[in-house]
Copies of this chain bind each other. A is one copy, B any other.
Amino acid sequence: MTESDLPVVDFHPYRWGDPDRPAELSGAVHEALAAFGVRAPACGPVEPADAALPDIVLTDGARAALEVAVGAEYVRYDREARVGHTRGWSTPDLLRLRSGDASDAPDAVALPGSHEEVVALLGACAEHHVAVVPYSGGTSVVGGLAPARDGFHGVVALDMGRLDAVVAVDEISRTATFQAGMRGVTAEKALRERNLTLGHFPQSYEGASIGGYAAARSAGQSSAGYGRFDDMVVGLTLATPRGTVELGTAPKSAAGPDLRQLVLGSEGALGVITSVTVRVRPAPAVRVFETWRFETFEAGAEALRRLVQDGPVPTVLRLSDEAETSINLADPSALNGGGAGGCLAVTGYEGAAAEVESRRAGATAVLSAAGGAPEGTDGGEAWRTGRFRAPYYRDPLLEAGVLIETLETVTFWSNLHALRAAVTQALTTALTDQGTPPLVLCHISHVYETGASLYFTVACAQAEDPFGQWRTAKTAANDAIRAAGAAITHHHGVGTDHRDTYRQEIGPLAVETLRAAKQALDPTGILNPGVLIAPERPEAGA
């Protein structure tokens, strides 16, 4: 199965991924968990149909205005729509909804059919002081879909699902323009029909949308070869309560600040992205994925650094640490997928046949010289075909009584090992102190000439209050990341979960600058309030 064969998926409200292909734990895993003292929670999850929804607080005037903006048939107030647009898919989000808490549900779900209708909807919400959360795949794992509602007369989820057209493909300039609600899978399918590819495959690929990639500054698993999503974007259309901003006159220019980069990563707080123009590339004729084994994480990291700094650079390049290598994340039921110890790296090459051959030969020489042992293509292919599958296992693990969550960060190469040690230590201490010593796994997920990202997976037995248990651990990890001088997120985004650490990271004057930009575009502050920046105004002098 290749990326473009995958179906577009609407996730179950509290399960990650395709509801038709749920993951199951093997008997051996259940036995192992029992041996570790992990016990399933006393009661199972509350069904979505029984979740406690807040009363709808929209005024009659607001309802009427929404219905005028997008058409009455495209404003939904039913339970299914509201629960289906409640928060995202972080472990805390899942825990809350599983406990029957749907208090963050929007009052209504609106589905505009055009950019103009989005602008009209935002105008209506500004007039009636209704908060707006832009929504597509809903795959946020950082609380990006739970805006503050204090002081607003309700919250509307602006579902971009109807804005899913291919607007234009320029085969000469190799650009494609998509409406923002188009899912990544659909965009990729449309491009493959023209023998093109976007090459953007984040782990949320089965659900996420083009607009979400842009708003959350997404990075895909093939970023070494195809770049991050923010590298791909050449143009954007932004709807705001005050009208439209169109950016991207040229590929690059010296015409002032690059305002595209102000919108990318703005997470719905500055406006609603309604279309995106991206750079596309020829669909790869050939692809080869393989694995390499290094004695230590440090040796493997050094090999990755050499490749990304001096080339040739594979299309995919990642490295698991010893702990992660000992567990095959793509199939945790196999428990001992890692085999012979050490650290496993995945290298992937995509492109024209001759180019792939020469690039692979060059990288092979570098990896061998750096002490890597080649392990052939079986492990690489298994990773490639299973790569969107790992998070599916979170749901049966949660049900079995495991607390499992991921977090990620990024720093410069010279700081990488200190950062890994600090975050591992913080998570281990915070959870051990609660009586639930964790397993902390880590891999390098994305590489740059000057640094790399670290992606952590944390698992332990659930405590009585798993929500509070994780909050304590997450706070410790955030503090460790900040103390190490690294970024609070590499590709998950800020949302509400990272907002306070983000404020420390960029400082009060930068926060005020963002707030000023928001004020210019969204004077009444209705756009995803509390996401990215705190809703209260005074910030200076902090």
Binding site for B on A (CB under 8 A): 170, 172-175, 216-219, 228, 230, 234, 240, 242-247, 249-267, 270, 279, 281-282, 305, 309-311, 352, 355, 358, 409-415, 446, 448-451, 485-494, 498, 502, 505-507, 509-510, 512-517, 519-521, 532, 540
**Are A252 and B448 interface neighbours, CB within 8 A?**
yes
Contacts of A532 in B (CB 8 A): 256
Alpha-carbon gap, A515 to B256, bound state (A): 12
Contacts of A514 in B (CB 8 A): 256-257, 259
Contacts of A492 in B (CB 8 A): 254
Contacts of A258 in B (CB 8 A): 217, 230, 261-262, 264-265
Contacts of A252 in B (CB 8 A): 219, 228, 230, 410, 446, 448, 490
Given contacts A217-B254, A254-B216, A448-B252, contact A243 B412 (CB under 8 A): no
Contacts of A490 in B (CB 8 A): 250, 252-254
A-B contact pairs, 27 of them (CB 8 A): A170-B412, A170-B414, A172-B305, A172-B412, A172-B414, A173-B415, A173-B450, A174-B450, A245-B507, A249-B411, A250-B411, A250-B490, A252-B448, A253-B487, A253-B491, A254-B265, A254-B490, A254-B491, A254-B494, A255-B265, A255-B488, A257-B266, A257-B514, A258-B261, A259-B506, A279-B450, A516-B520
Contacts of A256 in B (CB 8 A): 217, 265-267, 494, 502, 506, 514, 532
**What residue of chain B has the Cβ atom nearest to residue A170's Cβ?**
B414
Alpha-carbon gap, A228 to B258, bound state (A): 13
Which of the residues B173, B254, B260, B494 comes within 8 Å of A414, measured between beta carbons?
A: B173
**Are B262 and A487 interface neighbours, CB within 8 A?**
no
Which of A173, A247, A264 has the most CB atoms of chain B within a 10 A radius of its CB? A173
Contacts of A172 in B (CB 8 A): 305, 412-414
Alpha-carbon gap, A170 to B521, bound state (A): 40
Contacts of A411 in B (CB 8 A): 249-250
**What residue of chain B has the Cβ atom nearest to residue A278's Cβ?**
B450
Contacts of A218 in B (CB 8 A): 254
**What residue of chain B has the Cβ atom nearest to residue A229's Cβ?**
B254
Alpha-carbon gap, A217 to B519, bound state (A): 26
Which of A245, A247, A513 has the most CB atoms of chain B within a 10 A radius of its CB? A513
**Are A257 and B251 interface neighbours, CB within 8 A?**
no
Alpha-carbon gap, A7 to B250, bound state (A): 35
**What residue of chain B has the Cβ atom nearest to residue A261's Cβ?**
B261
Alpha-carbon gap, A358 to B311, bound state (A): 13
Alpha-carbon gap, A487 to B251, bound state (A): 9
**Are B219 and A251 interface neighbours, CB within 8 A?**
no
Contacts of A311 in B (CB 8 A): 355
Which of the residues B234, B446, B506 comes within 8 Å of A247, measured between beta carbons?
A: B506
Alpha-carbon gap, A266 to B260, bound state (A): 14
**What residue of chain B has the Cβ atom nearest to residue A309's Cβ?**
B174
Contacts of A265 in B (CB 8 A): 254-258
Contacts of A506 in B (CB 8 A): 245, 247, 249, 255-256, 259
Rounded to whole Å, the gap between the CB of A209 and the closest CB of chain B is 16
**Are A261 and B257 interface neighbours, CB within 8 A?**
yes
Given contacts A251-B448, A450-B251, contact A513 B509 (CB under 8 A): no
**What residue of chain B has the Cβ atom nearest to residue A499's Cβ?**
B256
Which of the residues B245, B451, B540 comes within 8 Å of A250, measured between beta carbons?
A: B451
Given A255-B265, A262-B513, A512-B520, 11 other A-B contacts at CB below 8 A?
A174-B449, A175-B450, A245-B510, A245-B513, A247-B510, A252-B448, A256-B494, A257-B263, A260-B261, A310-B352, A516-B520
Alpha-carbon gap, A540 to B532, bound state (A): 26
Rounded to whole Å, the gap between the CB of A284 and the closest CB of chain B is 12
Contacts of A509 in B (CB 8 A): 240, 242-245, 520-521
Which of the residues B249, B267, B450, B513 comes within 8 Å of A520, measured between beta carbons?
A: B513
Alpha-carbon gap, A250 to B488, bound state (A): 10
Alpha-carbon gap, A240 to B512, bound state (A): 13
Contacts of A244 in B (CB 8 A): 507, 509
**Are A513 and B505 interface neighbours, CB within 8 A?**
no
Contacts of A485 in B (CB 8 A): 249
**Are A449 and B251 interface neighbours, CB within 8 A?**
yes
Contacts of A412 in B (CB 8 A): 170, 172-173, 175, 234, 250-251
Contacts of A305 in B (CB 8 A): 172
Contacts of A352 in B (CB 8 A): 310
Alpha-carbon gap, A413 to B355, bound state (A): 24
Rounded to whole Å, the gap between the CB of A304 and the closest CB of chain B is 13
Rounded to whole Å, the gap between the CB of A319 and the closest CB of chain B is 17
Which of the residues B246, B262, B413, B446 comes within 8 Å of A262, measured between beta carbons?
A: B262
Alpha-carbon gap, A507 to B242, bound state (A): 12
Rounded to whole Å, the gap between the CB of A330 and the closest CB of chain B is 24
Alpha-carbon gap, A358 to B263, bound state (A): 40
